[in-house]
């Protein structure tokens, strides 16, 4: 699948407007028929990163924002590698979270809210080989699991 070109805006405000216009107005349907809803307040979680890796997202990430159109493309890519997500609070895999890996190191995470509905969690470039290895060693997501 060919992915959209990077999006270049002059500031965060324009990326936020793009996100709200493309994603928050109506759900995006995945390649397997899941309706994914996007909340406006997820913008910060998705497009900011922690400069000190302390969990505080304090810096707007242009590299994340430029890939804003990759979110939809990833959700609609039937060739994406699908894995179960990690619940860091419970320290276990969570079959209601689906991690879609594309383009070698780009992930989009959704959380199922029903058998054919989900909400967007986040999207980002995996920036270390260690983190990519963790994702790829996660259990494969099974479409049967989304009904849990």
Which residue from 121, 71, 75 is spatially nearest to 96, judged by alpha carbons? 121
The string of pLDDT tens digits covering residues 19-28 is 999 999 999 9
In angstroms, the Cα distances linking 73 to 11, 86, 115 are 23, 23, 21
In angstroms, the Cα distances linking 5 to 14, 20, 73, 87 are 17, 19, 11, 32
Please give the CATH architecture assigned to the domain spanning 12-147: Roll (3.10)
Q: Give CA–CA dist 20/86, Å, rounded.
A: 27
Q: Give CA–CA dist 126/55, Å, rounded.
A: 16
Residue boundaries of the structural domains of the chain: 12-147
The string of pLDDT tens digits covering residues 39-82 is 999 999 899 987 766 666 778 999 999 999 999 999 999 999 99
Task: Note the pTM of the prediction, 2 decimals.
Answer: 0.91
């Amino acid at each position: 699948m060919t992915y959209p070109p990077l999006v270049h805006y002059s500031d965060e405000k324009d990326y936020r407007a793009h996100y709200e216009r493309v994603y928050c107005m109506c759900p995006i349907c995945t390649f397997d028929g899941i309706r994914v809803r996007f909340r406006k307040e997820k913008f910060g979680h998705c497009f900011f990163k922690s400069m000190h890796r302390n969990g505080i997202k304090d810096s707007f990430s242009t590299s994340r924002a430029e890939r804003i159109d990759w979110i939809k493309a990833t959700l609609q890519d039937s060739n994406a590698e699908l894995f179960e997500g990690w619940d860091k609070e419970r320290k276990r895999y969570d079959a209601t979270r689906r991690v879609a890996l594309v383009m070698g190191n780009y992930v989009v995470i959704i959380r199922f809210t029903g058998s054919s509905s989900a909400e967007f969690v986040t999207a980002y470039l995996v920036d270390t080989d260690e983190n990519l290895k963790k994702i790829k060693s996660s259990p494969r997501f099974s479409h049967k699991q989304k009904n849990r």
